[in-house]
Chains A and B, each alone.
Chain A
Amino acid sequence: MIEFTSLIVNGISVGAIYALVALGVVIIFKSTEIVNFAHPSLLVFGTLIVATAYNGLHLPFYVAAIAGVGISALLGVAIDRVLVRPFYKKRAIIAAGIMTIGLSIVIDTLTTNQIGAQILSAGNPLGSSTISILSTSIPLARLAALATAIVLLMAFYLWLQRSDFGVAMRAAADDPETASLMGVRLSRVTMISWAIASALAVVAGIFLVSYPSAGLDVSVGAVSLQAIPAAIIGGLDSTTGAVVGGLAVGLTQVLTLGYQHQLAFLGLSFSQAAPYILMLLVLLIRPAGLFGTKEVSRV
């Protein structure tokens, strides 16, 4: 029972990190209808910047973190301006998605090559301290991740509700022509979306590699890729979905890993496949994801 509780708490805190990454995928999808397969790569890239600034340049953690977040946001903007823009005009959504796959191959190869066999710390301001909740000990860093995720998700949600940005974002994706006639500055909307999404990915990345995980190594790319099933499970155009999907993936992963001995008949690597099996099941029942909306085609 104790084990179960601790797994649940752990799953939620990991899930919150996935939710942040998935939220980035959703933000970009909502404003452009493009699935950004390079999102996990951006996470690794930004986290590598933080780690390099922290270890290599010996900058204080917060400076390194801000540098990583900022540089990634700029990279996101650059991708939007330079690489994705030609596709918006043609409304070539799927082609743009595949383009981001090419981009992810480039970024992944370079970051993997850079990381090599190292395990890089991206700074651990909270160290390895734990606190005890419900008689399970939980790393403080995980709690901080959860708290940060909740704050960021709430802030984003409120911002969408209160500002015109949410409306503009939806309009930009639904009907770019009409939206621009209505005075929505499309390029600004997509640019801000890419910047926010990339920044969120790096925040998530920093938490993902901090205690109890050892640091940034080449496996982080595969781990962060789980944001894709998270976003899809929740529904690509739903911010609520990103949270639910992130938690679902986090819990699935932590539980299947935690009970791998009971699940031994499924093999030791089952926990890696589990989120994708969940995704397949969800898509079978709801092709648009749990909270996604399905559009009716007109003739």
Chain B
Amino acid sequence: MILKQTVGARLDVTGVTVRFSGVHVLEDVSFSAEPGTVHALIGPNGAGKSTLFNVLSGIYRPMVGSVMIDDREIIGLKPFQVARAGLGRAFQNGSMFGSLTVEENLLLGRHRLTRAGVISSGLGLPSARAEQRDARVKVRETAEFLEIDHLLARTSGDLSYGDAKRVDVARALCTEPRLLLLDEPGAGMHTREKLAMRSTISRIARELGTTILLVEHDMGLVMGISDRITVLDFGTVLITSSPDEVRNDARVIEAYLGHSTARKGIPKPRMNGKQ
């Protein structure tokens, strides 16, 4: 039993600039991710990684710049249109629909791949039931692939942080994305969970062919599975290269070691998943 394979999308980010009340959060950001690869995006807290993800998924609109998924410009599309263009996303902070079960959360991942309308759904017509059955099967397969099938019946609002992150990834995967954005999937996990997440991510890329854009602070995880790495600092790209070159790049070391102590005091922006 294997999930449906996809043709990973190519991502081209060109000259993206975002400003919030006069402060440049992203400045002329450009890089490309090759189809079917794991591309990491790293940088200190506040570098603008989540903001870039918000641009990619259509939540923020940059002042200038272009984002192409394959040959399609997605700047200007609404978030749901971007999702339909094949972009899936797991969020930095718990994004469960807390009153729903895990299974229902994953079924929402299949929303864009299902059709049932108000009438057929409300009347419980055979077409709607069959579609729902199929979706359930797909959801179970995805859950098994990510080894979270034992959680399906749980209320998602009650999950532990680590479990919620894995369900979030599974839900994004249920949309059958060709490009998957993962925002700090290993955050708050202990070593064993992190190892599992690491193998999950590489399996998604290798076995399903999905292109993955990964934001992660754990350098072990990043270096181990990434094909390419883009380093972001203060909203600008320092370098896009292979893990080995990034590891040895002077500017990266400077960015991480040089300021990291000074930056520790800066709190992460408080995120509210319920907004």
Interface residues of B in 236-275 (CB under 8 A from A): 269, 271-273, 275
- When distances are taken between beta carbons in the complex, the residues of chain B under 8 Å from A298 are 269, 271-272, 275
A152 to B115, CA, bound (A): 59
Interface residues of A in 273-299 (CB under 8 A from B): 297-299
- When distances are taken between beta carbons in the complex, the residues of chain A under 8 Å from B275 are 297-299
A298 to B268, CA, bound (A): 13
Instruction: Report if B54 contacts A (CB, 8 A).
Output: yes
Count how many chain A residues have C-beta atoms less than 8 Å from C-beta atoms of the other chain. Answer: 3
Q: Which residue of A lies closest to B92 (CB)?
A: A299
Q: Which residue of B lies closest to A91 (CB)?
A: B274
The total of interchain contacts (Cβ-Cβ below 8 angstroms) comes to: 12
Residue interface bits B19-54, CB-to-A below 8 A is 1, else 0: 000000000000000000000000000000010001
Q: Which residue of B lies closest to A295 (CB)?
A: B275
A299 to B54, CA, bound (A): 8
A69 to B275, CA, bound (A): 39
Q: How near does chain B come to A173, taking the closest CB pair, in angstroms? A: 15
A299 to B56, CA, bound (A): 13
Q: How near does chain B come to A180, taking the closest CB pair, in angstroms? A: 15
Tell me if A299 and B91 are in contact (CB < 8 A). Answer: yes
Q: How near does chain A come to B133, taking the closest CB pair, in angstroms? A: 33
- When distances are taken between beta carbons in the complex, the residues of chain A under 8 Å from B187 are none
Q: Which residue of A lies closest to B57 (CB)?
A: A299
Q: How near does chain B come to A28, taking the closest CB pair, in angstroms? A: 23
A297 to B59, CA, bound (A): 10
Q: Which residue of A lies closest to B269 (CB)?
A: A298
- When distances are taken between beta carbons in the complex, the residues of chain A under 8 Å from B50 are 299
A176 to B6, CA, bound (A): 47
Can you name 9 extra interface pairs (CB under 8 A) apart from A298-B271, A298-B275, A299-B59? A297-B275, A298-B269, A298-B272, A299-B50, A299-B54, A299-B91, A299-B271, A299-B273, A299-B275
Chain B interface (Cβ < 8 Å from any Cβ of A): 50, 54, 59, 91, 269, 271-273, 275
Q: List 12 A-B contacts (CB under 8 A).
A: A297-B275, A298-B269, A298-B271, A298-B272, A298-B275, A299-B50, A299-B54, A299-B59, A299-B91, A299-B271, A299-B273, A299-B275
* 10 shortest interchain CB distances as A-B pairs: A297-B275, A299-B54, A299-B59, A298-B271, A298-B275, A298-B272, A299-B275, A298-B269, A299-B271, A299-B91
